[in-house]
Structure 1
Amino acid sequence: MGGGRRLLLENARNSAAISETKYIKASNRVTVYDFIKLAKPGIIISNSIAAFGGFWIAFASADKPLSGIAFLMTMVTAMLGTAFVMASGTVYNNFFDRHMDAKMARTRSRASVTGKMPPAMIVTYGSVLGIAGLAILYSLNPLTALLGLAAFILYAIIYTVWVKRTSVWSTFAGSFPGAAPPLMGYCAVTGEISMAAVLLYAVMFLWQPPHFWAIGIRRKEEYRAAGVPLLPVVKGNHITKVKMIRYIAVLVPVTLLLPFSLGTGHLSPFYVLAALVLGGIWIKKSIQGFKTDDDVKWAKDMFIYSLIYFCLLFLIMMIDSFVMFLIR
């Protein structure tokens, strides 16, 4: 009787152990979601908006714009190739940063950190994305593919492996490859770099430091623990706020130069007014940072508004150029 009970209990324990083992193995399987998350979809989406903005401005301002199937094919090719190259850079960034990410609460659960995705798999994934993206962009024109390759090298290698770990200038350096999407989108249509393309690049370049420093202030102690010499960690919040408002103060007039670079009839006064209002709100929020008693809360608000500013600016730019395109 007692032996029978013991046998039943032992069988129950064995069954539970087997079930737990199966659950652990199942939870360790790499899923499609893991691949998507490793590519940092939030970054890909925001950068794709900028790339499409550059593409659309080039299309709407062309003397002989693409039409019909040519427009659709060029747009899909440009967006897909740009997204693949950007995703390749973020995957390599996760690969190189996996030991650093293990020290930060917001990144320690990534598949690259937990070991769920082995390093060889990550490198293979990133390489396939990069090669495919560059091949797709090359099918449009060599210049766009060259810009994609330069952005990948600057971001995945020079910024991630070197500058990010050694210098307070990391955010500035990372802005060079980070601003490539609108330039690539523009060149996908034209095959050349114009003043309008340079200004689109400058807009995204100047937007990035205040955007990322807002994250830096919010996550300052995590970056400190990970050994990342980010500006808020090294110089403190006050100096960071001064730098942020300087970038925004330069960004606003640069956004106003775009209509002049395109010539008359491509962007209306509505865009200029919208750019002024959006920029003015961001400057006001920046000034409030010097009066706040809660830097983390202020930085969160700055981060959220930076995304709103970026998306609205490019959306208004595209809508306005479309309306002007129809009028011409």
Structure 2
Amino acid sequence: MNNPISIDAAGSPAAETAHVGDQDATMTKTQQRATLRDYIQLTKPGIVFHNLITAFGGFWVASRWELDWLLLILTMLGTALIVASGCALNNYLDRELDAKMARTQERALVTGKLTPGFVLGFGLVLGAIGTVVLGMVNILTALLGVIGMILYVWVYTMMFKRTSVWSTFVGSFSGAVPPVMGYVAVTNTMDAGAWILFLILFLWQPPHFWALGIRRVEEYRAAGFPLLPVVRGSFVTKISMVRYVVLLVPVSMLLYFYGYVGEVYMFAAAGLGLIWALMCLQGFQTKDTEEENKWAKKMFVYSINYLTILIILMVVTTTHAV
């Protein structure tokens, strides 16, 4: 039976041993480079955290201060696992494109710290566990979680992200699901409150993401993403951002008119939205790329703070159950 281990030109057993030893050392070094942080980063913890904030907001608004703590824990855990699953699978599908962008070149899958097969399995396992946990909440919440993950992974990442300027619009559907999951975890029905929360997150996402797209337009162009700023330019993108933000202002106030929150929320939501709309308009006054990038960064940061403050106001001003 032939020896499966090749030897060097001199046929030296010592050289053969050294060669095998070098291979083992290289493999061990590669394996050691994958740290706990690498596994955590696969799930994009920042995205998971912000989705949990919105899910908590939906849960609290539906609970009206009468919390079922076990239900809350199960909802948050299941939502975190589902979102983490989608992010891991997104890493798997985007690994070649991520290698072309400075922002994503150091991801563990791109650098070879983790293998595609492992990341695929990791993502699927997280999704399966998350679905089971959400099923313990109720079937509607679990169904929404699965729908959101399918929309994000297969429809957005696989189909639209690589082919169409409509990718951000399509991706907004999946990003708007977590607050609805939190809400229906309590109500087990898609009523007005669920749809209002969906619309708030749906309208918030495009101007939030396009701000990043304008700032990093050359990276997205180099990677081959047909993002709106890449295909249509920043002027058209800014017009689209204004449209979404202007629509968001009255939609965000619907929670008050339907009796879910108090007046403080209504006035604050109106004020925050109008400030964002004015910031959008300021983008048309930028004179060069440097000014435009600074404006886009301010827009991106403000969008995150806007949503965070809005959710906090929802929680604090939620009306009590009658």
Task: Compute the TM-score of the two structures, normalised by the length of structure 1.
Answer: 0.87
- Residue 277 of structure 2: which of 273, 283, 301 is its match? 283
Counterpart-to-counterpart distance in 1, 2:216 and 2:46:
18
Counterpart-to-counterpart distance in 2, 1:249 and 1:134:
36
Q: What residue in structure 1 maps to residue 48 of structure 2?
A: 44
Matched length: 298
Q: What residue in structure 2 maps to residue 305 of structure 1?
A: 302
Whether 1:225 and 2:229 are equivalent positions in the alignment is no
Counterpart-to-counterpart distance in 2, 1:81 and 1:300:
32
Q: What residue in structure 1 maps to residue 109 of structure 2?
A: 112
Q: Would you say the 8 A contact 2:31–2:113 is kept in 1?
A: no
Counterpart-to-counterpart distance in 2, 1:308 and 1:267:
20
The sequence identity of aligned pairs, in percent, is: 51
State the AA in 2 paired with 1:81: G
Q: Show the 5 A alignment for 1:16-27.
A: 25=29
Counterpart-to-counterpart distance in 2, 1:267 and 1:155:
30
Q: Once the 2 structures are TM-superposed, how far is the Cα of residue 124 of structure 1 from its aligned partner?
A: 1.2
Q: What residue in structure 2 maps to residue 204 of structure 1?
A: 201
Whether 1:33 and 2:30 are equivalent positions in the alignment is no
Q: Show the 5 A alignment for 1:305-324.
A: 305-321=302-318, 324=319
Counterpart-to-counterpart distance in 1, 2:248 and 2:282:
18
Unmatched 5+ stretches in structure 1: 1-13
Q: CA-to-partner distance for each residue in 1:272-301, whole Å, 9 max, x for gaps? A: 111011111101111100112211110000
Q: Would you say the 8 A contact 2:172–2:202 is kept in 1?
A: yes
Q: Aligned to 2:161, what secondary structure does the other structure show?
A: helix
Q: Aligned to 1:290, what secondary structure does the other structure show?
A: helix
Q: Would you say the 8 A contact 2:229–2:236 is kept in 1?
A: yes
State the AA in 2 paired with 1:49: I
Q: Identify if the C-alpha distance between structure 1 residues 22 and 93 changes in structure 2 by more than 3 Å, giving closer, same or farther.
A: closer
Q: What residue in structure 2 maps to residue 182 of structure 1?
A: 179
Q: What residue in structure 1 maps to residue 266 of structure 2?
A: 272
Q: CA-to-partner distance for each residue in 1:99-147, whole Å, 9 max, x for gaps? A: 0000000101100111110011101110111001000000111000000
Unmatched 5+ stretches in structure 2: 1-17
Q: Would you say the 8 A contact 2:211–2:297 is kept in 1?
A: yes
Q: What residue in structure 1 maps to residue 60 of structure 2?
A: 56
Q: Aligned to 1:166, what secondary structure does the other structure show?
A: coil
Counterpart-to-counterpart distance in 1, 2:39 and 2:60:
29
Q: What residue in structure 1 maps to residue 286 of structure 2?
A: 292
Q: Identify if the C-alpha distance between structure 1 residues 23 and 300 changes in structure 2 by more than 3 Å, giving closer, same or farther.
A: farther
Q: Would you say the 8 A contact 2:98–2:110 is kept in 1?
A: yes
- Structure 1 consecutive aligned stretches of length 4 or more whose deviation exceeds 6 Å: none
Counterpart-to-counterpart distance in 2, 1:289 and 1:241:
7
Q: Identify if the C-alpha distance between structure 1 residues 158 and 41 changes in structure 2 by more than 3 Å, giving closer, same or farther.
A: same
- Residue 130 of structure 1: which of 127, 131, 136 is its match? 127
Q: Would you say the 8 A contact 2:265–2:313 is kept in 1?
A: yes
Q: Once the 2 structures are TM-superposed, how far is the Cα of residue 178 of structure 1 from its aligned partner?
A: 0.9
Q: Show the 5 A alignment for 1:150-165.
A: 150-165=147-162
Q: What residue in structure 1 maps to residue 9 of structure 2?
A: none
Counterpart-to-counterpart distance in 2, 1:217 and 1:136:
38
Q: Once the 2 structures are TM-superposed, how far is the Cα of residue 29 of structure 1 from its aligned partner?
A: 3.2
State the AA in 2 paired with 1:30: A
Task: Compute the TM-score of the two structures, normalised by the length of structure 2.
Answer: 0.89
